[in-house]
Structure 1
Amino acid sequence: MAGRNYPKGAAKREEILDVALETIARSGYDAATIRTIAEAAGLSKTGVGHHFASKHELLTAVLARRDEVGIEATQDVGPELLFETIREAITTRAKDTGLTELYVRLAAEATDPTNVAHQFFVDRYQRLEELGVGELAELQRAGGVPRNLDPKVLSVLISALVDGMQLRLLYDPTLDQDAVVDALRELLATAAKAPPHS
């Protein structure tokens, strides 16, 4: 990424990743062949293969890059902006149909433990859960979500919502994702204000 200093080989790898991400975002998942990415990066297929052992390894690295950009954009937002962050994540992904399709397809394929991307998704969900638990615990203390709900469960719920919305938006790009996020926020806020059960 801009502003970083890499050794020559690592810099070329980063360049390939940038080109692959842009190619998929612009032209769609089906355009993500090693040949098209290699040509866009000014390399041969063998040249790309020097940095990535397989297409799946390259595509997994593209998703890691997408996550990295998203994390940088939303770092230190604070629990009061949690739902705005969720909304922004869904909205941003809705604009990049090719990357969303890549994510959905790879996530499904990677449920197989032998898949190259399997560990990436295991680590990704664990990292998101940890981040979510901290933010939600703070939001609970502020009264924004019910205190009797386990922050870990809520974190999984929100992660599942974001993943599910990515899939649904591929079927129906006109779906009002803002309304979905607002409904979740309203449900949790209403439940937080409800008197405790006797």
Structure 2
Amino acid sequence: MAARGPYAKGKAKRAEILDVALEVIARDGYSSATVKHLADAVGLSQNGLLHYFGSKDALFLEILRHRDELIAIEVDAENRDFAENIVDRILAAVDEEVASPGMTRLSLRVTGEATEPDHVAHEFLRARYEAIRLVVSDALSRLQSDGQIAQDADPIAIAALLFASWDGLQIQRMYDDTIDIRSHLLYLIRALGIATRTSPNPFDPTQPL
């Protein structure tokens, strides 16, 4: 029982650090994602900051995990209108990432480094990709059941292609900020036969040819 107080305080401090980190990176950009900058922002020494996470890589992992947890609450994939609005949700997420280049750069950096199996973020990112593909493919399967996607389409393949394209376009945009991720991804969505609010369902027999 005596350990509960210090544990609770440590957990609260970690949460505070992660909240501040998201704010700092959103405000000051990728260059702010340093241990010194983040430590200064929460009034700790660099060693004091890392005490709560163990290493710089673990800190960056927890920043990404914390951001994902906040997004998951907002997205609410269990909501019954999630599938119906899946395209709008994907495009809204793209818009948010384009508006937050600091977080995008941090995410791409960690994702690139974590391809090594022994990296602290490797398992988190592997599971993250798997979860994203599953959530989106499930939503697409529901649309397919409603006749909004061709019956011979493969929702699992479509989900993988969408997010492979998203990742690739993000990387290209780091070198050329004229790359329009939203329009390119919307082109792919339509080419894959997924209806959008501005593009009618191509498999609806009531629609004129």
Q: Which moved more, 1:168-177 or 1:104-113?
A: 168-177
How large is the RMSD of aligned CA atoms in angstroms?
Answer: 2.2
Q: Which runs of 5+ in 2 are unaligned?
A: 1-6, 195-200
In the alignment, what sits opposite 2:102? 98
Letter in 2 for 1:188: L
1:38-77 pair list within 5 angstroms: 38-75=39-76, 76=79, 77=81
Contact residue 133 and residue 151 of structure 1 kept, 8 A: yes
Q: Deviations over 1:85-124 (max 9, x none)?
A: 1101111001111110011111111111111111111110
C-alpha distance in 2 between matches for 1:58 and 1:161:
28
Q: Does 1:187 align with 2:191?
A: yes
Q: Normalized per residue, which structure has more helix?
A: 1
Tell me the CA shift for residue 42 of structure 1. Answer: 1.2
Contact residue 94 and residue 169 of structure 1 kept, 8 A: no
In the alignment, what sits opposite 2:4? none
Contact residue 146 and residue 188 of structure 1 kept, 8 A: no
In the alignment, what sits opposite 2:83? 79
TM-score by structure 1 length? 0.86
Q: 2:174 aligned to 155, 158, 170, which one?
A: 170
SS at match of 1:153: helix
Letter in 1 for 2:158: L
C-alpha distance in 2 between matches for 1:101 and 1:177:
15
SS at match of 2:17: helix
Q: Deviations over 1:70-92 (max 9, x none)?
A: 22222124212111111011110
Fraction of identical pairs, as percent? 37
Q: Structure 1 182/49 Cα, relative in aligned 2: closer, same or farther at 3 Å?
A: closer
1:6-155 pair list within 5 angstroms: 7-75=8-76, 76=79, 77-155=81-159
Q: Which moved more, 1:129-138 or 1:23-32?
A: 23-32
TM-score by structure 2 length? 0.82
